[in-house]
């Protein structure tokens, strides 16, 4: 109903433009009884049709731009609120990359079968390269139910982590999303120099199942329903946003301002 109301008001504005055009060309007031006929005749001309097309196009463009501005203002207000009330998430025993004393901690919820999560992976690599001493990334699993290979892949990564090769397996899994099979996991474990028998045993360790379930519940409790999802010192970033988005949040936590 709100949208219909806006559209109706918009066409009223368009009609006003037409009336203004007609009246500006007249030397006297147009009687109300003749107004509809005058508009009808005007719109029957090429100039009239062009006018309504241009006016309608301009209106909807302005409406779209205003909607975008409203959304940006809403997101900015939410961001400001999060800086005042950041979410506190327990790292637990999750894999970590970066210095232990980093000023900024990014909690990443991801799915090895999710194509958008590859973008998240690349962005986190860019972040760690740009902030080698100030940022660390914590990886938590959020395998989505419609990705049949996501849970086995998460188990493979955590099993590799038991032999000190989580991030190496992590990279291999993302680089081979179309081939997340048990045979691939075992082959990769061998290529990474792992004890494959121990790796296979660890993949079936109930503790790994518990860790994955705990990550999923943590994501749900903090409003992360899709992947990838991040918390930058407790400020939520829901989606595969580019490096610049993270940069703005990180720099604010570090007390920096953008040059220029």
Beta strand 96-97 pairing with 135-141: antiparallel
Interval 250-256 mean pLDDT? 92
CA nearest neighbour of 233 among 131, 118, 117, 113: 131
Which three-class secondary structure state does DSSP give residue 256?
Answer: coil
- Does residue 260 carry a pLDDT above 60? no
pLDDT tens-digit readout, 42-52: 777 877 777 77
- Does residue 201 carry a pLDDT above 60? yes
pLDDT tens-digit readout, 57-83: 777 777 776 766 656 566 667 778 888
Lowest average pLDDT, out of 114-123, 196-205, 251-260, goes to 251-260
End-to-end CA distance of the chain: 44
Lowest average pLDDT, out of 13-27, 134-148, 232-246, goes to 13-27
pLDDT confidence of 196, banded at 50, 70, 90? Answer: very high
pLDDT of residue 76: 67
Positions of CATH 3.40.30.10 in the chain: 96-253
- Does residue 104 carry a pLDDT above 50? yes
Instruction: Report the CATH fold assignment for 96-253.
Output: Glutaredoxin (3.40.30)
pLDDT confidence of 17, banded at 50, 70, 90? Answer: low
Beta strand 229-232 pairing with 235-238: antiparallel
Q: Which one has a higher pLDDT value, 47 or 11? A: 47
pLDDT of residue 99: 97
- For residue 239, the tally of other CB atoms under 10 A from its CB is 14
Lowest average pLDDT, out of 50-54, 112-116, 151-155, goes to 50-54
Interval 154-161 mean pLDDT? 98
């Amino acid at each position: 109903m709100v949208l219909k109301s806006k559209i109706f008001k918009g066409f009223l504005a368009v009609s006003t433009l037409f009336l203004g055009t007609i009246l500006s060309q007249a030397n006297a007031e147009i009687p109300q009884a003749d107004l509809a006929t005058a508009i009808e005749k005007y719109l029957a001309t090429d100039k009239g049709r062009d006018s309504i097309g241009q006016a309608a196009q301009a209106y909807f463009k302005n409406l779209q731009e205003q909607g975008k501005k409203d959304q940006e203002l809403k997101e900015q207000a939410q961001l400001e609120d999060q800086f005042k009330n950041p979410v506190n998430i327990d790292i637990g025993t999750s894999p970590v990359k970066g210095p232990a004393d980093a000023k900024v901690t990014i909690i990443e919820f991801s799915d090895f079968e999710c194509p958008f999560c590859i973008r998240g992976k690349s962005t986190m690599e860019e972040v760690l390269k740009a902030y080698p001493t100030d940022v660390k990334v914590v990886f938590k699993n959020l395998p989505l139910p419609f990705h049949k290979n996501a849970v086995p892949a998460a188990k493979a990564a955590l099993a590799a982590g038991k032999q000190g090769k989580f991030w190496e397996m992590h990279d291999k899994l993302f680089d081979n999303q179309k081939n997340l099979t048990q045979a691939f996991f075992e082959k990769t474990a061998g290529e990474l120099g792992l004890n494959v028998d121990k790796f296979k045993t660890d993949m079936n360790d109930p503790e790994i199942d518990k860790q994955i379930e705990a990550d999923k519940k943590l994501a749900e409790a903090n409003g992360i329903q899709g992947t990838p999802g991040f918390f930058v010192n407790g400020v939520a970033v829901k989606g595969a946003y580019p490096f610049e988005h993270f940069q703005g949040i990180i720099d604010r936590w570090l007390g920096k301002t953008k040059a220029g």
